[in-house]
């Protein structure tokens, strides 16, 4: 990063980085989820390589998000922090209840992990909206 890079330039760079790594992670996740059955017939080596690729892309996505958060101003950091805290709390509560539904025989099978991701994403957006409303 150059000394003359302004706030808008950093924001654009960080947004592009997050977009690239998120798309790569999503594509590798889809390949990992559907590839063994539809493309490579559960070949163990291909699956193991893709697991590591997926973990690498996930790591890079997390690092890109961390960099974005570090480059935000204090108010934006606080808003993101509050949104994340709300999402974490809601996800823990909902995941715990959903995890127990099969054990207490209210559902026949385990809850799909994508349900937890959906809860996290939605509650994060709600948390960000609530925090922005509070500070605007």
Q: Per-residue pLDDT tens for 63-102?
A: 999 999 999 999 999 999 999 999 999 999 999 999 899 8
Token output for 64: 């890109």
Name the residue ranges covered by the structural domains of the chain: 1-71, 73-136
Helix (H, G, I), strand (E, B) or coil at 78: helix
pLDDT of residue 111: 83
Write the burial class of residue 101 (CB in 10 Å: 0-12 exposed, 13-18 middle, 19+ buried): middle
| Confidence grade of residue 4 (pLDDT, cut at 50, 70, 90) | low
Q: Which two tokens stand for residue 3?
A: 């000394």
Q: How far is Cα 23 from Cα 26, in angstroms, rounded to an integer?
A: 5
According to DSSP, residue 121 is labeled H
pTM (2 decimals)?
0.80
């Amino acid at each position: 990063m150059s000394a003359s890079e302004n706030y808008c330039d950093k924001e654009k760079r960080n947004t592009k980085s997050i977009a690239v790594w998120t798309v790569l992670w999503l594509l590798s996740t889809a390949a990992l989820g559907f590839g063994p059955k539809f493309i490579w017939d559960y070949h163990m080596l291909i699956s193991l390589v893709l697991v590591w690729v997926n973990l690498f892309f996930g790591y890079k996505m997390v690092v890109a998000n961390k960099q974005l958060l570090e480059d935000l101003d204090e108010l934006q950091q606080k808003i993101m922090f509050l949104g994340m805290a709300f999402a974490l709390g809601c996800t823990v509560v909902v995941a715990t209840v959903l995890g127990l539904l099969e054990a207490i025989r209210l559902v026949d099978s385990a809850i799909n992990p994508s349900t937890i991701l959906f809860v996290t994403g939605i509650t994060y957006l709600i948390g960000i909206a609530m925090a922005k409303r509070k500070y605007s």
